[in-house]
């Protein structure tokens, strides 16, 4: 078994806000992250898959094909968009990095070829914070 990771990049706006709470409570809990006019990030996304290398190619999976899958089912839905407003698979959820990593996992887990399994989604929100989700 080997693990192959492809790193991709996207930019997005979001805010942290619980609609069931008052503005004051949101400010108290989320601080600057609750700014009503949004803020945003450059996100680094690490997608790790696992399986056996194909004896005819030496590849677990062609990294360019993995990149195309990530582009089609993740980046086109997130890049240069607003995570709270524009993203179908995040509707009704808080846009924390934790929930976004889980959402990305759900976008990809059933779309890999049968020879590979999704192992980990790692999502870096700032140079000091990242989240990992293993399903």
Q: List the interface residues with its own copies, window 15-44 (CB under 8 A).
A: 16, 18, 20, 29-33, 35, 37-42
Establish if 106 lies at the interface with its own copies (CB under 8 A).
Answer: no
Q: Tell me the pairing of strands 2-14 and 39-51.
A: antiparallel
Paired residues of 128 in beta bridges: none
Q: How many CB atoms lie within 10 A of CB 113?
A: 14
Catalytic residue selected from 39, 52, 80, 132? 80
Q: Phi first, then psi: what are they for 17, rounded to 5°?
A: -160, 130
Active-site residue flag, 80: yes
Establish if 65 lies at the interface with its own copies (CB under 8 A).
Answer: no
Minimum distance from residue 124 beta carbon to its own copies (Å): 9
Nearer to its own copies, 11 or 91 (CB): 11
Output 67-72 pairs: Cβ under 8 A, ≥24 positions apart: 67/6, 67/8, 69/108, 69/111, 69/112, 70/6, 70/8, 70/45, 70/108, 71/8
Among 12, 74, 104, 112, interactor with its own copies by CB under 8 A: 12
Paired residues of 51 in beta bridges: 2, 116
Active-site residue flag, 119: no
Catalytic residue selected from 33, 44, 98, 120? 33
Q: Interface residues with its own copies (CB under 8 A)?
A: 1-9, 11-14, 16, 18, 20, 29-33, 35, 37-42, 48, 53, 56-60, 62-64, 67, 79-82, 85-86, 93-99, 101-102, 126-134
Catalytic residue list? 33, 80, 125
């Amino acid at each position: 078994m080997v693990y192959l990771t492809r790193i991709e990049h996207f930019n997005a706006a979001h805010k942290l806000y619980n609609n069931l709470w008052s503005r004051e409570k949101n400010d108290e809990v989320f601080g600057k992250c609750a700014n009503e006019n949004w803020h945003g990030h450059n996100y680094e996304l690490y997608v790790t898959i696992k399986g056996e290398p194909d004896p005819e190619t030496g590849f677990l999976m062609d990294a360019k094909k993995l990149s195309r899958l990530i582009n089609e089912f993740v980046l086109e839905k997130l890049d240069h968009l607003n995570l709270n407003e524009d993203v179908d698979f995040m509707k009704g959820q808080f846009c924390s990095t934790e929930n976004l990593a889980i959402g990305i996992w759900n976008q990809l887990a059933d779309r890999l070829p049968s020879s590979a399994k999704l192992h980990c989604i790692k999502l870096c929100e700032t140079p000091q914070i990242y989240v990992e989700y293993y399903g």
